[in-house]
Amino acid sequence: MPNDRWIWDATTTLEALGAADVVLWLWEPEKDRLRLTGASRSLGLGPLAPECSSAAMRALALPQDRAMADDVLRVQDPGSEIAVRLRMRGGGVCIWRGVWLEEGLRAAGVIAPETKFAASDLDHLTGLLDRKSFVTRAREQLQSPGNHELVVADLDRLRRLNEALGHERADLVLAALGSRLAAAFPPGALLARVGEDEFAVLAPTSRPSAAEILRQALEQPLRVAGFDIHPTLSIGAVEAVGGEDAPEAAELLRRAELAVESAKSGGRGGAAAYGRGLESDGLSRLALESDLRGAMGRGEIVAYYQPIVRLSTGALSGFEALVRWRHSRRGLLTPDQFLPLCEEMGLMSELGARMMREAGHQLAVWRRDHRAAGELTVAVNLSTGELDRPDLISDVMAIRKETGLPPGALKLEVTEGDVMRDPDRAAVVLRNLREAGAALALDDFGTGFSSLSYLTRLPFDTLKIDRYFVRTMATNEGSAKIVSSVVKLGQDLALEVVAEGVENAQMARQLLSLGCDYGQGFGYAPALSPQEAEVYLNESYVDGAAPVKARG
């Protein structure tokens, strides 16, 4: 009887494995040798094939997945199974399955794309549920009786992170946050990445709350490609009662995202719960857009001034000019309420030029009318991308000529993200601004996007510590260390250091004990109208010191 069985030679085997997008692996720990056969290139394992060492495998794994690579390589008892989700540089997400053989001398198994083992309902970057799958699973979970909490967290300043690090490194940050989220919640919680920079959790209501657990898990420093990243989140939450009358999952997610937008309006690291009052915000935004273009022509966009105080003496040193919109119907609007619209509508360059000119002329008036204020300065924020504005340097020169301000009286504040987009180009522009007579401050320093090597090459006069670290330094050891380190760095580089977010006298004393030069924040005063700022200026010079609140 003829033998009709297939005879599999090596070539046929390799062709079959390649067609199936599968790799066979064999790990021999005593020889430190990993063998790979099959579709290694398509799975991102090409640099390791046909064999490699354990060190090579760890090096090819993404940094946040190296602990999983160790799970494959660690010797276990015979019969122990291996099931690891692993990502390699240049490849997709793969599942390594296998078993330990022969007294732990060898392990063998198969590697295949995650989609061959499970339904493709996962976000490719984090391994969490994607938005569509989250809504489907949440709909099922909400049928269970009991109280549920849906939380959405938006990673603050993702665009700045992309600009500073590039998309690939920013993706590493998102992947690391996804891993942290998965480790923070028990298996019963639904976890998802529901937007480019948004994570969502649906879990039973508990203490601590899901929002607290999420913030604690994700707002921890991490290091990516030599950069220290300090993530902060804007969090929105909504509660629901499960059962037959439970709200639709998609509607619940929409409400949580409305709450996120409300949290972001209060600044970085905010939180908000859903309420009916949020529903009118979408319509309000449309009306605001129609008013914005005419606001500049009507003189409604104005500068307000927040005092900056020398901590050692309490003397008023200067002001930071902060934009406000005196809306005819809505009253005084803060930057968070309209700057995103300005950016979308391409008005940021016009706004930046207006603010710089208005602040420079106001400072000249104060210095002329108040002899005691002869050394007063004013700081103006440059918006994202404004370093590339063609007229920036000529505007500075023109303002100084019109006002007679001496060099250094007008201070321009730039963010780390703006500098790090193109450090060499930024260095040229900053040097030209310095030659034009502007002083320069690096704003929000400590948020973790810059390289210290660039700081020594750029002509800054001042470092400004981000208010988040100042506000939390009394309760967060990490924040306290960052504040102390920035102050010491400023001293070593002969730079002035300004701490934002000083809310009370205790904060001021703590900053002074660290050697910080200046402080600003609600402990001294909020942003004041020009008339209020002049009153504050007069009172400060009469009293000899700017008043600071005992408690904030």
How confident is the model over 117-143, as a mean pLDDT? 81
Maximum CA extent, the chain: 114
Rounded mean pLDDT, 151-157: 90
Give 198's strand partners: 154, 195
Helices 505-514 and 477-492, axial angle in degrees (round to 10): 50
On the question of pLDDT at 282 being above 60, the answer is no
Over 60: is that where the pLDDT of 542 sits? yes
- pTM for this entry: 0.55
Question: In terms of pLDDT, which residue wins out, 219 or 453?
Answer: 219
pLDDT range class, residue 281, cuts 50, 70, 90: low
> Could you tell me the CA-to-CA distances from 75 to 36, 72, 336, 438 in Å, in that order?
18, 8, 54, 63
Rounded Cα–Cα distance for residues 88 and 94 (Å):
8
What per-residue confidence (pLDDT) applies to 213?
94
Give the pLDDT score at 303. 96
Pick from 160, 168, 13: nearest CA to 90: 168
Strand partners, 28: 33
- In tens, the pLDDT along 522-536 reads 999 999 999 999 999
Res. 276: pLDDT tops 80: no
* Cβ atoms < 10 Å from Cβ of 424: 8
**How many whole angstroms separate alpha carbon 269 and alpha carbon 267?**
6
Q: Is the peptide bond before 208 cis (omega within 30 degrees of 0)?
A: yes
Among 256-265, 344-353, 415-424, 495-504, the range with the most confident prediction by mean pLDDT is: 495-504
Residue predicted with more confidence, 92 or 203: 203
Query: pLDDT at residue 76 above 70?
Result: yes
Whole-number Å distance between alpha carbons of 233 and 253: 17
- Regarding predicted confidence, which is higher, 162 or 55? 55
Question: Which amino acid belongs to residue 257?
Answer: E
Helices (H) and strands (E) in the chain, counts: 20, 22
State the average pLDDT over residues 429-457.
80
Three-state secondary structure of 261-283: HHHHCCCCCCEEECCHHHHHHHH
